[in-house]
A and B are shown apart, each in its own frame.
Chain A
Amino acid sequence: MAGIAPNNSGVDGAAFSGLKNRLLLPSWLTIGVLLVIPVLLMLVYSFLTKEFRGGVVWEFSIAAYDQFFLDRGLFGDEPVKIEWTYINIFIRSIVQAGLATFFCLLIGFPTAYYIATRPPSTRAFWLFMVTVPYWVNLLIRTVSMKFLIRDSGPLNQWLLQLGVISEPIHLINTNVAVQLGLFYSYLPFMVLPIYAAVERFDFALVEAAHDLYADRMTTLRRVLIPAVKPGIIAGCILVFVPSLGAFLAPDLLGGAKNFMIGSLIEEQFKGSAGNWPFGAAASMILLSLVLVVLMFYARNEARSRS
């Protein structure tokens, strides 16, 4: 009977689940080839021994992680101390990325709010304007920024002529310049998700809040911001994570003193001076850091949903 009578759904369950797996294959392949395998490669490389002219020797070693965290002296016979050089680079990167996120939020939120509250016919225009600079390659934009802010660049010339300053502000090769570069590079990643959230926001709720004696600031704090929080968090992640690993802005605007993780990793794989296992280890540490941030977000999200 079972072979003849159709089951309730009228579909052969087993055959269908086989088809489902085959239809999902492209996604599995994409994730596998583009995500899982490269990360595993990096993980493996970080535990190999370095070859002097770049590349690796296939021999297990934790030298890369050792070099990252510990200072064993020049000949490895001194008492073990913590190596601060790379940890400091990480801390600087986190601070820079955090500040970039903060400034992007500070400017991006009002921008997104402004665009989302325009008449629907003009919103597309404003969104387009936000994205226009990003049609130009990031490298070119960063180099241009360098020309704009250098001591004899237009910004300083202009301020000098106006008499606001008596001598050029030295911006290039400072943390401020790196910050400026990061902020400028990632601002739209803050604006767009917040815009999407504010656009979906029901502004009748603002009226309801005013009706219940809330002033404008309280309405912003207790009604608008909680309602668009998912957009704000998405924007913060989209700015913080790439800022943390950025290397163009710190390389071109920050110079040697204002190294960030991105530049550190980049250097390990460039030319013959590099150290592949060390670069891979730094990458894995960066990846763990990012994962911690994302897991924190996911847990927060799950808690607020339940």
Chain B
Amino acid sequence: MTEVSDIAVQLSNVKKQYGEAVALHDVSLTINDKEFFTLLGPSGCGKTTLLRIIAGFENVTAGSVFLHGKEIASLPANQRPVNTVFQQYSLFPHMSVEENVLFGLQMRKVPTSQASKRAKAMLELVQLENFASRLPSQLSGGQQQRVALARALAPEPEVLLLDEPLSALDLKLRQAMRIELKQIQEEAGITFIFVTHDQEEALTMSDRIAVMSAGNVQQIGTSHDIYDAPTNRFVADFIGESNLLDSEVVKIDGDRVQCLLPGGLHVSSTVSDNNSSIKPGTKGHLCIRPERLSVSNAADTNGNSLTGVVVRHIYLGTDTQLVVELTHGQTVQVRTQNSDQGLRLPAAGETVNLHIQSGGSRFLSA
């Protein structure tokens, strides 16, 4: 049981409706203090709505929002000790960089000398101390993004909300900013709630991720959890690449299950923790990541292998992807590292055995 003081934000049964349209169904989640928490999902999944509810820009239709144990659902945005980094930065165009950073401090009535010291420190943190007197329009996108970050951090918010702040930057800058953001979060010791549709961004920065779709939270967990142990088909499909094969449970074997594939193959696989509903006869999907499959010469019979015909090779630089058509017609992707010099890749048309690495297959009932 975690102490209340260790919880930064708690949402319980939050519902949001716009007329008939439901943006959030019934969301409950807990975000720990000083955590880098990411809301990840495709556009329209409700992640931004959730962020705006915490910021105070949207009212909840039902449910409550707690900030460090205090109910804040009824507080207007300007009385909540949280700050936002907006997707389009929303810097005040008529104010200099320094005035932008000072704004929140002035509103909180921080004494002038202290405020300017704080603003200076924030600009140093984002390496823009030499740009204090510039106008936002005189800065590049990446610099504006840093100003937005400095402005939001300056008033020392209890929680910092970031609404896809990296989406407007080009790839190289985005990758550099990921590492930097994580560093800044650790240095500042503030809870970050980060919204993104970019799974790579989420996986690299987050302590924990909530995967959302269609107004529901699908799974909450660390990067490892959601990649290696997805609890449902949506998460498995959305995060990374996966081979999802139709299958049916035939036998429960301790914490593993025996699954039957349409071609008559039996595969032994793990299941998610809440497997109480799974019993022999349950239909679902077998999730196997492409890199957990490898080409092997000999077929093994202990339920860890698939057989198929190579359809094509796709060269991806560091990896080569094989598309293999299984005997029952479904295709799977297999990923092999190109640094494996000794490995001979089977040619198209060749029949191959695919070895499933231990723990590489997972049965999903939903």
Closest chain B residue, CB of each to CB of A206: B90
Nearest-CB residue, chain B, relative to A213: B107
Smallest CB separation, A93 vs chain B (Å): 33
Whole-angstrom CA separation of A229 from B93 in the bound complex: 12
Q: Mark B49-80, 1 if CB is under 8 A from A, else 0.
A: 00000011100000000000000000011110
Residues 195-219 of B, flagged 1 when their CB comes within 8 A of A and 0 if not, give 0000000000000000000000000
Cβ-based interface call for B92 (8 A): yes
Candidates B55, B57, B90, B108; contact of A213 at CB < 8 Å:
B108
Q: List 15 A-B contacts (CB under 8 A).
A: A202-B88, A202-B90, A204-B86, A208-B86, A209-B92, A210-B56, A211-B78, A211-B83, A212-B107, A212-B151, A212-B152, A213-B104, A213-B155, A223-B92, A227-B94
Shortest distance from the beta carbon of B99 to any chain A beta carbon, whole Å: 10
B84 at the interface (CB under 8 A from A): yes
Q: Which residues of A contact B104 (CB under 8 A)?
A: 212-213
Cβ of A208 and Cβ of B92 under 8 Å apart? Answer: yes
Known: A210-B57, A213-B155, A214-B103. 7 other contacts (CB 8 A): A204-B86, A207-B86, A211-B55, A211-B84, A212-B107, A213-B107, A223-B92
Q: Is the CB of B90 within 8 A of A205?
A: yes
A226 touches B (CB below 8 Å): yes
The reply on A131 being an interface residue by CB < 8 A is: no
Considering the chains assembled together, what is the distance between the CA atoms of A202 and B151 in angstroms? 18
Per the bound structure, the CA–CA distance linking A226 and B135 in Å amounts to: 14
| A215 on the B face (CB < 8 A) | yes
A228 to B: closest C-beta gap in Å: 10
B91 surroundings in chain A (CB, below 8 A): 208
CA distance A290 to B307 in the complex (A): 90
Counted as pairs of residues, one from A and one from B, with CB atoms less than 8 Å apart, the total is 61
- Provide the bound-state CA to CA distance between A204 and B79, in Å: 18
Contacting residues, chain B, for A67 (C-beta < 8 A): none
Q: Are B92 and A214 in contact (CB under 8 A)?
A: no
Q: Does A218 contact B (CB under 8 A)?
A: yes
Identify the closest chain B residue to A229 (Cβ): B94
Contacts A211-B77, A214-B78 given; does A204 touch B155 at CB 8 Å: no
Least CB distance, B88 to chain A, in whole angstroms: 6
* B107 engages A205 (CB within 8 Å): no
Using C-beta atoms within 8 Å of the partner chain, give the interface range for chain A.
10 to 19
Q: Are A227 and B77 within 8 A (Cβ)?
A: no
Decide yes or no: A213 and B94 within 8 Å by CB, A204-B86, A207-B57 being known contacts. Answer: no
Interface residues of A in 16-34 (CB under 8 A from B): none
Residue contact B94 to A210, C-beta cutoff 8 Å: no
Interface positions, chain B 99-122, Cβ under 8 Å from A, are 103-104, 107-108
Q: Which of A's residues lie within 8 Å of B, judged by CB?
A: 202, 204-205, 207-215, 218, 222-223, 226-227, 229
Q: How far is the CB of A128 from chain B (nearest CB, A)?
A: 29
Residues of chain A lying within 8 A (CB to CB) of residue B93: 205, 227
Tell me whether A212 and B83 are in contact (CB under 8 A). Answer: yes
Which residue from chain A places its CB closest to the CB of B99 in the assembled complex?
A: A222
Closest-CB distance, A214 to chain B (whole angstroms):
5
User: CA A204 – CA B77 in complex, angstroms?
Assistant: 13
A198 CB, nearest partner CB in chain B, Å: 15
Residues of B within 8 A of A208 (CB): 84, 86, 90-92
Question: Chain B residues near A212 (CB, 8 Å)?
Answer: 78, 83, 103-104, 107, 151-152, 155
Chain B nearest CB, measured from A69 CB (Å): 42
Q: Are A213 and B78 in contact (CB under 8 A)?
A: yes
Closest CB in chain B relative to A219 CB, distance in Å: 8
Kindly list chain A residues whose C-beta atoms are within 8 Å of the C-beta of B152: 211-212
List chain B residues, Cβ under 8 A from A229.
94
- Collect the chain B residues with CB atoms within 8 Å of residue A211's CB: 55-57, 77-78, 82-84, 152
A257 → chain B, closest Cβ, in Å?
45
A209 to B83 alpha-carbon distance, docked (Å) = 10
Q: Given A211-B55, A213-B107, A214-B103, decide whether A204 and B78 contact each other with a Cβ distance below 8 A.
A: no
A213 vs B156: C-alpha distance in the bound complex, in angstroms? 12
CA of A212 to CA of B104, assembled, Å? 5
The interface residues of chain A lying within 8 Å CB-to-CB of B84 are 207-208, 211
Interface 0/1 of B251-280, CB less than 8 Å to A: 000000000000000000000000000000
How far does the alpha carbon of A299 sit from the alpha carbon of B77 in the complex, in Å? 39
Q: Is the CB of A207 within 8 A of B77?
A: yes
Q: Are B92 and A205 in contact (CB under 8 A)?
A: yes
- Using CB atoms, name the residue of chain A closest to B93: A227
With A and B bound together, what is the CA distance between A202 and B91 in angstroms? Answer: 10
Which of chain A's residues have a CB closer than 8 A to the CB of B107?
212-214, 218
Q: How far is the CB of A210 from chain B (nearest CB, A)?
A: 4
Which 8 A/B pairs are nearest by Cβ-Cβ distance? A212-B104, A213-B107, A208-B90, A210-B77, A204-B90, A226-B94, A210-B78, A211-B84
A302 to chain B, nearest CB (A): 15
Contacts of A210 on B, CB cut-off 8 Å? 56-57, 76-78
Interface centre among A204, A205, A211, A223 (most CB of B within 10 A): A211
Which residues on B sit within 8 Å (CB–CB) of A222?
A: 103
Report the separation of the CA atoms of residues A1 and B66 in the bound assembly, to the nearest whole angstrom.
81
Q: Please measure, in the bound complex, the distance between the C-alpha atom of A222 and the C-alpha atom of B92, giving whole angstroms.
A: 9
Shortest CB distance B133–A (Å): 12
Closest to B82 in A: A211
Complex contact A215–B78 (CB within 8 A): yes
The complex places the Cα of A205 from the Cα of B103 at a distance, in Å, of 12
Residues of B within 8 A of A209 (CB): 78, 92, 103
CA distance in complex: A223, B100 (Å) = 11
Question: How many Å lie between the Cα of A218 and that of B76 in the bound state?
Answer: 15
Give the nearest-CB partner of A227 in chain B. B94
A contact residues around B88 at 8 Å (CB): 202, 204
Please indicate which of the listed interface residues B88, B92, B152 has the most CB atoms of chain A within 10 Å of its own CB: B92
For the complex formed, measure the closest distance between the CB of A182 and the CB atoms of chain B, giving whole angstroms. 31
Q: How far is the CB of A233 from chain B (nearest CB, A)?
A: 14
CA distance A235 to B78 in the complex (A): 32
> Which residue of the partner chain A has the closest CB to B154?
A212
The reply to whether A207 and B90 form a contact with Cβ atoms under 8 Å apart is: yes
The smallest C-beta distance from B158 to any residue of chain A, in angstroms, reads 13
Closest to A226 in B: B94
Complex Cα distance, B84 from A277, in Å, reads 66
